[in-house]
Amino acid sequence: MSSASLTHGETNLADFPPVQQSRTGFWFIGLIAATAWCAAALVIGGLPDIDDFERTGLLAKIAAGIAGTLFFFAVGEQITGFTTPAKLRNAGPWLLLTGLALTAWELTTAKYTLLPRPFFASPQALLEVFTDDYPRLGDSVWNSVRLLAGGYVIGAAVGFSLGVAIGWSRAIGYWAHPVLRLIGPLPATAWLPVAFFAFPSSHNASTFLIALATGFPVTVLTWSGVAGVNKAFYDVARTMGASQRFLVLKVAIPAAMPSVFVGLFMGLGASFSVLVVAEMMGVKSGLGWYLQWAQGWAAYANMYAALLVMALMCTGLITLLFRLRDRLLAWQKGLVQW
Amino acid sequence: MVGNLAEQQPTAGARVDVVDVSHRFDFDGKALPVLNRVSLRIAPNELVSLLGPSGCGKSTLLRLVAGLETPTIGTISADGDRITGPHPSRVVMFQDPTLYPWRTVKANVSLGLEARGLLRRQAHRVDEALQLVGLTQFATAYPHQLSGGMAQRVSLARALVNDPKLLLLDEPLGKLDSMTRMTMQQELVALWQRSGFTGLLVTHDVEEAVFMSNRVIVLSDRPATIKADIRIDLPFPRHRGDPRLAELRRQILGVLGLDTDW
């Protein structure tokens, strides 16, 4: 009895001190990161290059700029009392690591050539690609995105419609299922020789292949989404006088959307690989073509630059898709975490 | 008394005639009889409970009345018109709230009006229905943010917005905690008295059946036949402690063969 009253007293909310807005303290790791970038700047600018690199000076300036910014935030915070953005603060360890890595990379390539030369490009050579070859690189990105978008949109639209139709109609399912089962798992790239032969241009052929690669996962996951809709959802709508059209558009499709987005995500991944292969094999533009071209000229710095841009493009597109999903499926928050 | 009550009200409720209905399911290629020659007349504005052992076919009977399925033999009609499919005048409230998770509370309640293309003209009825179940504040919430009782209230509002002549309740309170269930039993009865629809309630809870309805139909094991048809001639509002309710409950448990521990 006494213990009960004691517990009651202890759990009284008023006993807890109010949460204090505590300052996070000196950004120590920021200062170390600033030092690392400073060292990188000194190594790049101070030591002699083993070859004529055009952009050594610019690279040193960039490193010094980053070092200065970090120093400004780490020290300025203490003096002036403003707060460093939480995101920057959070990135501290990464900034330190990249500073150190850049220094090491610079030393082993441009300064002492500890790594075999043409294959391991120096940081300033990579920078030079961006400063000098940006029109061609930009053009390649544009062509890649255009080709990808065309094929992806067609594949997603066809896959979605087909998936809904198969999930909804038994008759369509009967005919589509075996075909899908046979053709679907075949990698889209296997169609490459046929496609380049059957279509009038390599651009059309690639669009077809990308659409094919996108379409399969979108179809299957839309279908399984529609087939997996809680049957009681239909009963509810039917008792209230819903038409077939209403059941498809307002019940089946919204309920299947989470699954559809998994399909769209998988389709996007598949479309990237088809895009690159198609560009390497026949299309005379785009990042895949740029990679191939750079390798042909043994321009390894260009190759790495193109790989970097490609990575940014892919992750950018995936992020875009996720944003769209978060917007359309806001109701899922708290139900499903990706 | 209850008969008088029903006659005093405007006859908004439907009369339901179940005539010699038998039904069976195909189960692994074998015919599984569920209902065996069930006949039943429900007067307008009555609230009738279907009571029976688990899996006896009471929910099946309710689905047949809703028009979600067609009986193998026999006919069911509402106000003399044979039921061949679902109709918005006969709305079902299921054991699970079955709210659409992608719709807000308000959009869920709008469902019936939207499905029939009446939403633009009768949008005010959505607000009225929400008010009726006391969830106006939660109009913009999503189902996953609601408690079980609140979700079931939304489900009730979604049914009522259609202004049904017949409300079919398929164990709607079965999954709620006992306190919420008692509150909602009272609310449902109050609502039924005010609105004047005919109610058919499937339940496995004898106390609930006795407390809420004018008539309790006791069904046998599968294939179900009507074992007893018991009138509950007590006025509303009823009190759970009423000795006459206890007596009726004992009588019904007797029919079900569960009276030994009483």
pLDDT digits (tens, 9 = 90+) for B138-151: 999 999 889 888 99
- Model confidence pLDDT, tens digit, residues B83-102: 888 888 888 888 888 999 99
| Pairing mode, strands B81-82 and B73-78 | antiparallel
Tell me the average pLDDT across A118-147: 90
The stretch B58-70 carries a mean pLDDT of: 90
B85 forms beta bridges with none
Rounded CA-CA distance A222/A8 in Å is: 53
User: Measured between alpha carbons, how far is A276 from A291 in angstroms, rounded to an integer?
Assistant: 9
Query: Residues near B174 by Cβ (< 8 Å), separated by ≥ 6?
Result: B95, B203, B204, B205
Lowest mean pLDDT across A109-113, B14-18, B155-159, B233-237: B233-237
pLDDT > 50? residue A233 = yes
Closest Cβ opposite residue B162 in set A230, A240, A331: A240
Q: Which pLDDT score, from 0 to 100, does residue A17 have?
A: 53
Mean pLDDT, residues B252-257: 85
Examine the pLDDT at A22 and tell me if it is beyond 50.
Answer: no
Q: How long a stretch of residues is chain B?
A: 262
Segments making up each domain of chain B, as ranges: 2-89+164-261
Q: Do A236 and B145 touch (CB under 8 A)?
A: no
Q: Any CB–CB contact under 8 A between B102 and chain A? A: yes
Residue B48 has pLDDT above 90, yes or no: yes
Residue B245: what pLDDT?
A: 86
Residue written as tokens 């390894």? Answer: A300
Q: Inter-chain contact A257–B68, Cβ cutoff 8 Å?
A: no
3-state secondary structure (DSSP) of residue A215: helix
Domains of chain A: 28-116 (no CATH), 134-328 (1.10.3720.10)
Contact flag B112-A235 (C-beta cutoff 8 Å): no
Are residues A240 and B116, on separate chains, in Cβ contact within 8 Å?
Answer: yes
Q: What is the nearest CA distance from B161 to chain A, expressed in angstroms? A: 10
Fold annotation for B2-89+164-261: Rossmann fold (3.40.50)
Instruction: For chain A, say whether B172 makes contact (Cβ under 8 Å).
Output: no
Instruction: State the Cα angle at A139 between A134 and A142, rounded to 5°.
Output: 125
Region B151-165: mean pLDDT is 90
Judged against a pLDDT cut of 50, whether residue A116 lies above it is answered with: yes
Q: What rounded mean pLDDT belongs to chain A?
A: 87
The span from the CA of A264 to the CA of A229, in Å, is 19
A90-94, A212-216, A269-273, B83-87: which range is least confident on average? B83-87
> What mean pLDDT is predicted for residues A306-333?
89
Separation CA A282–CA B254 (nearest Å)? 84
The predicted structure's pLDDT at residue A303: 92
Question: What DSSP line would sit under B211-227, residue for residue?
Answer: HH-SEEEEE-SSSB-EE
Q: Average pLDDT, stretch A287-316?
A: 91
* Residues A23-50 pLDDT 10s: 567 888 999 999 999 999 999 998 888 8
Would you call B114 an interface residue with chain A, using a CB distance cutoff of 8 Å? yes
Peptide bond into B223 cis (omega under 30): yes
